[in-house]
Amino acid sequence: MDHPSARTLELLSLLAAGTPRTGADLAARLGVSPRTLRRDVERLRRLGYRVESAPGTGGSYRLPAGQGMPPLLLSEEEAVATAVGLRHAAAAYGASPAGPADTALRKLGEALPARLRGPIEALLAATEVPPTPGPADHLDTVERLAEATHLRSRVRFRYTTRDGEAGERRAEPHRLLLLAHHWYLLAHHWYLLAWDEDRADWRSFRADRITGLRVPGTTFPPRPVPEQSAWPFPRPSEPKAAALFLAPAGAVARRLTARAGTLEPAGADRCRYTTGTDDWDWLAGALAAVGLPYRVEGPPELARATRDLAARAATAAGG
């Protein structure tokens, strides 16, 4: 391997495991002399990698974990995808210009070669991403819930329902899900799927309604998680909504923006969509936006919201 850059990348991959590798082993794998190996190690250090060395016969080298974010090597397609994804992430979280997604995007732009910087800047300038109206100040709660979920740590928090009722909850966190909600506002909400210890049942909680989150430090054993289609979003105590579309499931699936539910065939050229929601007006609008014939099967709250939507639309159209 004669080219220094290619050899340096190969050395980096050999050290990436984090375990010590002897100098003799590394030199043999790279097909270089010990002196050339030392130069390659110094090149990695100049690039920002904290390569540790140990004395002894032949010496050894290791790349410790947790040393910070090293430079990234991205292909042209990966660089474009990363830049576009960061732009959407900044909008999705209602981030300020100093938010993490925006600062990461700026750093990425500074690190890109000129031949990529121009096309990406043009793409971002020509792309309009509608901002999410909701604030992102609950993301710290999401991060702490994610850590508790990963470590299987019980959590305590105060939760305010849609009706404004607040109370203390004790729960075992199992999953986090980001759901598109209020499709007409392009908003998203984080939901926590958890086992409610006081109610002895599965519950889902919107992260922006959680306050006073505490992690006592006690852990819980794994518990079988229900199928995603059966997840209680937002609350299993609310009636399930059902709508019968007079169209094949494939045609409905391509247009349906409400994802937290089940869409199943219900005969020839028709299908049934069932779901739960904490906003009947939102669900009524999402069903109408499909643009295919359908009938509301229940509950009364959804039927009432659908009639109200139709009345508002008729008034707006002058009818």
Where are the domains positioned within the chain? 4-62, 76-125, 139-226, 241-316
Q: What is the pLDDT of residue 62?
A: 83
Q: What is the pLDDT of residue 214?
A: 94
Q: Do 207 and 160 contact (CB within 8 A), yes or no?
A: no
Q: What is the pLDDT of residue 235?
A: 45
Is the overall model pTM greater than 0.75, yes or no? Answer: no
Q: What is the pLDDT of residue 41?
A: 86
Q: What is the pLDDT along the chain (319 residues), one digit of tens a residue?
A: 566 767 777 787 777 766 788 888 888 888 888 888 888 888 888 777 788 888 766 678 887 765 544 555 566 677 777 777 777 666 655 545 556 666 777 777 766 666 677 777 777 677 665 555 444 557 778 888 989 999 999 999 999 987 788 899 999 999 888 765 443 334 567 888 899 999 898 888 888 899 999 999 899 998 887 765 555 554 444 557 899 999 888 888 888 876 567 888 888 889 999 887 767 888 888 888 888 899 999 888 889 999 999 998 888 887 6
Q: What is the pLDDT of residue 295?
A: 94
Q: What is the pLDDT of residue 73?
A: 59
Q: Cα-Cα-Cα-Cα dihedral of 234, 273, 225, 201, to 10°? A: 50
Q: Transcribe the chain into DSSP letters.
A: ---HHHHHHHHHHHHTT-S-EEHHHHHHHHT--HHHHHHHHHHHHHTT---EEE-SSS-EEE--SSS-PPPP---HHHHHHHHHHHHHHHHHTT--TTSHHHHHHHHHHHHS-HHHHHHHHHHHHT---PPPSS--TTHHHHHHHHHHHHHTB-EEEEEE-TTS-EEEEEEEEEEEEEEEESGGGTEEEEEEEEEETTTTEEEEEEGGGEEEEE--S-B----PPPPGGG--SS-TTSPPEEEEESS-HHHHHTT----SEEEEE-STT-EEEEE--S-HHHHHHHHHTT-S-EEEEE-HHHHHHHHHHHHHHHHHTT-
Q: What is the pLDDT of residue 185?
A: 38
Give the architecture (CATH level 2) of 139-226.
Answer: Roll (2.30)
4-62 maps to CATH 3.30.450.40: no
